[in-house]
Structure 1
Amino acid sequence: MLFFCLGLSALYGQTKLSDGSQQISPLTREYVYPTRIVWTNGHIVRGENLLVPGNGQANLTNDNIVILKNNDTEQSGILLDFGKERNGALELVTGMWGGGNGAKNVRIRFGESVSEAMSDIGEKGATNDHALRDFNMQLPWLGKNQTGESGFRFVRIDFLDKNAELHLREVRMISTYRDIPYLGSFKSSDERLNNIWEVGAYTVHLNMQDYLWDAIKRDRLVWVGDLHPEVATINTVFGFNDVVPKSLDLAKISTPLPGWMCGISTYSMWWVVLHHDWYMAHGDKKYLTEQKPYLQGLVRQIVGKVKNGKEQMDGTRFLDWPSSEDSLAVHAGIQAMTIMALERAASLAQILEDSETMDLCTSTVAAMRKYKPRHNNSKQAAALLAISGLMDEKKAYDDVLKVGGAKNFSTFYGYYMLEAMAKAGKYKEAMDIISQYWGAMLDLGATSFWEDFNIEWINNASPIDQLVPPGKVDIHGDFGAYCYKGFRHSFAHGWASGPTSWLSEHVLGIKVAEPGGKAYYVRPHLGNLTFAEGTFPTKYGVIRVKHTKDKNGKVKSEIYAPSEVTILR
């Protein structure tokens, strides 16, 4: 009976705790088999059998066996492609080799690119930080073994024992993810934009693990500022998911005041903005009320760092990495962020019937709006200044955002640059940037969006799903800066998903208008598109829209919404 109960617990993802309670995992495990052999070395027999899905079970018939054979001087190895980036572990199923039944030794190397899977630790920034991706392990005779988790698409397996054979029956990934429906959708006359929308959604889905991570290889952590584009994508694609409040609560519990979340003042401000956006979409008054004491204390902490209308935040002063060395831009961005956070805090305080906090926010914002900091030609700073209303949005576009096109965009703050462009009415131009900048990652073989990307990297670059030929640039190993140098660079970073929510909000035109998702605007902007259609999740059901442009350029819209939702045009 005990065996049966343990079996059920494993089947349903439950863990029995010492106090008798249970934790139920929200995650699903799926077996995924490789789709392609990229490279081999040494003596390998019937390697193509690894591409055939199996049943994960060793057996006595020793059928479908792949043999890796080493002599005294040569090691055999194989590099496998699992088709797309995933979060997961690796399972290897073995057969019956001769010469004794002892364990065999292999080296496993995961990679988000082919070149990373072929690298050694320390080479071009290759690392085992956050998740092991380069390690040795033992395999049993006639059995199987599993690795730990990481984010990867490619796996290199090297057989280490001299003068020996390794019999492999299967190599498969155990992909771990939340099995949830994609309620939101986007389809238009531009297939490239459609693909970008889907890849952004998938990138965030990968990072919806036990908590909402920033990345599945490196930075498997809850970075609060990075959550903002991710939560916008979740609201757009999945609707309510408990990974968001769970992650926001973790940040709060982990950061007693007067600390800053993640040590960064703006990240505590993003926590305020996130709660505002979450309440607008889902209207959970009980959950919002639970935040009241912390929100009150945080507001007073933020206001205490404002002197004569100017922010003077301590802690780490940070917007994103590419802008981090420009102190003038960072100051301008923090000034704008402080205003945005306090305005949203005032809105939340009004809902919570906290007039004292609301008045403190509004009076501080009024003083801060009298001061106009310099953007220093930073696209990050100009975007926040335009969004917050500290700078005319058309001037921000003309003077800063349009200069150089996609040059000096970033995968994180590119979202806010797009938002500022929309505020200036530059929808077509924003779609062109999305196609050029995010689309370039797809051209290079990406199946999820990256921690950072510079449009100038594409010159003579080799795709990530190929061995880098002589004379070509390694887009993964040869670039990067700050904390993401070379192969340490994450290729599945949720903060890069901005185009997904942007396309739904500004092209489909769907944006929440009243707290709790009781009303939505539908105001499409097609640019050069001939049609755009899609769905958007609300707490009452899905909004469906289809916008079609006639030969005269007039847009006709078909809109369906749940009866509880008011549509505003």
Structure 2
Amino acid sequence: MNGIYYYKNMKRTFTLIVFFIILLITDSALAQKATWIYYPGDFDIWLGNKMQNRRTDRGAFLPVLWKMDSHYVLVEFHKDFDVPATEEVKLYVEGMYNVKVDGQAFVGYPKSITVPSGHHKVSLKVYCQDRVPAIFVQGKTIVSDDSWLVTFEDKEWIDATGKVSDKSGTTYLNAGAWNFNDPLSPPSKFSLPTVPQHAMSSDKKANSFFLDFGKETFGFVKLHGLKGKGKLHIYYGESKEEAQSVDHCETLDELMINESAKKDSVMELSKALRYVNVQFDSGVSVDSVSMLYEYAPLTQRGAFRCSDEEINKIYDISKYTLQLATREFFIDGIKRDRWIWSGDAYQSYAMNYYSFFDSPTVTRTILALRGKDPVTSHINTIMDYTFYWFLSINDYYQYTGDKTFIKQFYPRMQTLMDYCLSRRDKNGMMAGLPGDWLFIDWADGLSKQGELSFEQLLFCRSLETMAICAKLNNDNEGAAKYQALADELKAKIFKLYWNEQKHALVHSLIDDKQSDNVTRYTNMFAIFFNYFNEQQKQDVKKNVLLNNNIQKITTPYMRFYELEALCAMGEQGYVLKQMKDYWGGMLKLGATSFWEEYNPDKKGAEVYAMYGRPFGKSLCHAWGASPIYLLGKYYLGVKPLTAGYSTWVAEPNLGGLKWMEGTVPTPEGNIKMYCSNTHIKIKGENGTGTLRIKSKSKPSCKDASVISKGNHIYELIITKDKAYNITYTEL
């Protein structure tokens, strides 16, 4: 009997324990998760300032060339909540603050507050000068997230009776947030992670080390067992020649050592390097040298493999190049500038959509570039970089479908476009005023005089982007205005710049007359902007893009667009050879990441020279990674048709390859494809796709209807999460 009684009590106790565990789990699950929030765009600007002011030129601070804005130092946060039961709410704040519930302020700086049941408005007002004002609010139902409303001016005032004014004049936005989900790790403590990395070889002498880390890399040099008194120098090199050149290497560290006991020392600033030359006085000793590799923790979602091993290597090195140049933001190169340049970033966004598909790095970079009002110059002071900024927003929307971002920051688009419109000349075009840098490309002898057709083309596309974003914001008047301006400018471009004898758009107008010069830039952009009719496209392909008498492009920056234009014209076979010649040429010179510029005519150490400096060239430049984009968009042939891949198309083109396979990321899953000259396998995890293929005869697929579109082109509808196997004969 006692045993039975004991068994029943144990069973009852066990049941109660399980019940309470379930209750605790359920209670925990019901509690909402909080995150740090701030005024949208402010963390991006603050972090951009912090990162870009790390640049040094042989140890000397080298600041940016343009206006730097700051975050708002006083921000009001609030949200209304329906609280089912009294709850304790913890507060974590970056800065001085007050907190109110239903307009009633708490005394002092409370770390937690008690909020009774009912409908309540919780608000905090935060001041912080050196960091971004930010809050982390954690209760059961009262939590901080991006649904809170924020403003930098609440326009609140009190009359003689003590009545608080209404706030109808205040503009509120949804709070900014990223992934700061730990109350003890606020935005101001953000840093990229690091992992130890050791050299592939180390040549140690009495007073020096010379290390080779095997490939281009980035991080903090670490000195182990440092001891003694005297000077220590570290000379960094992307090439062996640069690290050996103590007088001309681009980056270095100089330290005064005064250590009586052995210690490890990590350099304050990260550097780009493959080789490291450490030299020290006889009174100093160092046991060994390593580094901490610094990286952005992003996942590679995109993939590509094919029958050509050289193309596979080019793809892999391109991914590594982009990975190195993706830091807190998309930067240009990891050695020299380490700044955020709009033209470089625009290409990184495109590569990102076919590799990481990381939206926060895109929007963070866009916002850091834009800064705050008032607008006093072009982005990076470069006219074409302002236009790339507009284009990047349109691309971001097409690939991600993120309307919220467009709606939040449309006012900043308007004020920047107002600045552009105010700087037009008497012909309604952008010719460049004092303070404007007209870049286009690094090219010897490229004229920047007069009204450049390239600038008008980008300006026209920017106006079209404004019309699209105006519609998304229900600004019908603005949409009509911007579209009318775009239509008018487009008509001018073809009336004033098209030359029937040259079968191309000329480079410039000087004193209202066409120049004789034809360059590739405007013409190739007009192809993938789809501004030309079919005859004009063919004329430009023959007379410009495939014409060796037209000045050649030597930077990967503009090769990106030149090869895109050719791919858009169906010249994948030609482009494949160009990739093997151009990027393969860098590989033959030992490149482990792709460069800022490559000219096959340069020999020996001169391949490293640029800007009048023997090692001025960046050997890891984001714009060198364009094969990622080309292979994803024009060989696998995958791109969105409507925003966020709600509908998409895949037009595979082998371009002479025997087979290829790859993965293209989308907002909600991946699109995977294998293609040979007889078979295609495809599966999409997002939206509805159209597979468009060229085949000598009608393709066969048991799971889908094959529709003939004429001229040996066939289409199949690809539904979400369904695999298709197609047999065809490559045309």
Q: TM-score, normalised by structure 1?
A: 0.79
Contact 1:203 1:448 in 2 (8 A): yes
Partner of 2:540: 396
Give the alignment partner of residue 554 of structure 2, picking from 403, 409, 412.
409
Contact 1:224 1:271 in 2 (8 A): yes
Give the alignment partner of residue 566 of structure 1, picking from 684, 689, 695.
689
By how many angstroms is 1:206 displaced?
1.2
Q: Write the mapping of 1:138-537 to structure 2, written as runs, cut at 5 A.
A: 138=257, 140=259, 141-147=261-267, 148-161=269-282, 166-168=285-287, 170-253=288-371, 256-304=374-422, 305=424, 307-308=426-427, 310-314=429-433, 315-322=436-443, 325-327=446-448, 331-370=452-491, 371-372=493-494, 373=497, 374-375=506-507, 376-389=517-530, 392-404=536-548, 407-457=552-602, 461=603, 473-477=604-608, 479-481=609-611, 485-537=613-665
- Relative to structure 1, the CA distance from residue 423 to residue 35 in structure 2 (aligned partners, 3 Å threshold; closer, same or farther) is same
Aligned counterparts of 2:418 and 2:95: Cα–Cα separation in 1:
41
Q: Deviations over 1:491-526 (max 9, x none)?
A: 111122222111110001111111122122100111
Contact 1:228 1:495 in 2 (8 A): no
Partner of 1:546: 674
Which is richer in strand?
2
Contact 2:666 2:686 in 1 (8 A): no
Contact 1:337 1:388 in 2 (8 A): no
Moved more, 284-293 or 301-310: 301-310
By how many angstroms is 1:156 displaced?
0.8
Q: Deviations over 1:17-74 (max 9, x none)?
A: 665961253622011100024xx5xxxxxx4xxxxxxxxxxxxxxxxxxxx43xxxxx
Contact 2:663 2:672 in 1 (8 A): yes
Aligned counterparts of 2:389 and 2:272: Cα–Cα separation in 1:
26
By how many angstroms is 1:325 displaced?
3.3
Contact 1:561 1:567 in 2 (8 A): no
* Number of aligned residues: 484
By how many angstroms is 1:384 displaced?
2.2
Contact 2:250 2:336 in 1 (8 A): no
Moved more, 179-188 or 340-349: 340-349
Higher relative contact order (CA 8 A, sep 6+): 1
Contact 2:431 2:451 in 1 (8 A): no
Partner of 1:4: none
Aligned counterparts of 2:395 and 2:632: Cα–Cα separation in 1:
16
Contact 1:106 1:158 in 2 (8 A): yes
Aligned counterparts of 1:311 and 1:259: Cα–Cα separation in 2:
14
Q: Deviations over 1:272-295 (max 9, x none)?
A: 111111111111211111121122
By how many angstroms is 1:139 displaced?
7.2
Aligned counterparts of 1:330 and 1:427: Cα–Cα separation in 2:
33
Moved more, 265-274 or 102-111: 102-111
- Relative to structure 1, the CA distance from residue 316 to residue 213 in structure 2 (aligned partners, 3 Å threshold; closer, same or farther) is same
Counterpart amino acid of residue 311 in structure 1: M
Secondary structure of the residue that 1:413 maps to in structure 2? helix
- Relative to structure 1, the CA distance from residue 330 to residue 324 in structure 2 (aligned partners, 3 Å threshold; closer, same or farther) is farther
Aligned counterparts of 1:490 and 1:356: Cα–Cα separation in 2:
46
By how many angstroms is 1:201 displaced?
1.9
Counterpart amino acid of residue 368 in structure 2: L
TM superposition outliers: structure 1 runs of 4+ over 6 Å:
none
Q: Percent identity?
A: 25
Partner of 2:130: none
Give the alignment partner of residue 32 of structure 1, picking from 188, 197, 208.
197
Aligned counterparts of 2:323 and 2:385: Cα–Cα separation in 1:
22
Counterpart amino acid of residue 403 in structure 2: K
- Relative to structure 1, the CA distance from residue 342 to residue 27 in structure 2 (aligned partners, 3 Å threshold; closer, same or farther) is same
Partner of 1:106: 232
By how many angstroms is 1:532 displaced?
1.0
Secondary structure of the residue that 1:213 maps to in structure 2? coil
By how many angstroms is 1:436 displaced?
0.8
Partner of 2:84: none
Aligned counterparts of 1:308 and 1:104: Cα–Cα separation in 2:
65
Aligned counterparts of 1:407 and 1:325: Cα–Cα separation in 2:
11
Give the alignment partner of residue 254 of structure 2, picking from 135, 140, 156.
135
By how many angstroms is 1:565 displaced?
4.5
- Relative to structure 1, the CA distance from residue 154 to residue 385 in structure 2 (aligned partners, 3 Å threshold; closer, same or farther) is same
Aligned counterparts of 2:378 and 2:361: Cα–Cα separation in 1:
21
By how many angstroms is 1:568 displaced?
4.9
Contact 2:318 2:628 in 1 (8 A): yes
Structure 2 stretches of 5 or more lacking a match?
A: 1-91, 97-133, 136-185, 498-505, 508-516, 693-731
Contact 1:336 1:390 in 2 (8 A): no
Partner of 2:246: 120
Aligned counterparts of 2:450 and 2:552: Cα–Cα separation in 1:
17
Contact 1:186 1:532 in 2 (8 A): yes
Aligned counterparts of 1:452 and 1:232: Cα–Cα separation in 2:
19
Secondary structure of the residue that 2:594 maps to in structure 1? coil
Secondary structure of the residue that 1:480 maps to in structure 2? coil
Moved more, 445-454 or 320-329: 320-329
Secondary structure of the residue that 1:187 maps to in structure 2? strand
Counterpart amino acid of residue 111 in structure 1: G
- Relative to structure 1, the CA distance from residue 244 to residue 309 in structure 2 (aligned partners, 3 Å threshold; closer, same or farther) is same
Counterpart amino acid of residue 300 in structure 2: Y
- Relative to structure 1, the CA distance from residue 338 to residue 521 in structure 2 (aligned partners, 3 Å threshold; closer, same or farther) is same
Contact 2:373 2:412 in 1 (8 A): no
Structure 1 stretches of 5 or more lacking a match?
A: 1-14, 41-46, 48-67, 70-75, 96-100, 462-472, 551-555
Aligned counterparts of 1:508 and 1:487: Cα–Cα separation in 2:
37
Secondary structure of the residue that 1:200 maps to in structure 2? helix
Which is richer in helix?
1
Aligned counterparts of 2:450 and 2:346: Cα–Cα separation in 1:
20
Q: TM-score, normalised by structure 2?
A: 0.62
Aligned counterparts of 1:225 and 1:186: Cα–Cα separation in 2:
25
- Relative to structure 1, the CA distance from residue 322 to residue 256 in structure 2 (aligned partners, 3 Å threshold; closer, same or farther) is farther
Q: Which structure has the greater CA radius of gyration?
A: 2
Aligned counterparts of 1:387 and 1:232: Cα–Cα separation in 2:
14
Q: Deviations over 1:385-416 (max 9, x none)?
A: 33334553322222222234994332111111
Counterpart amino acid of residue 112 in structure 1: E
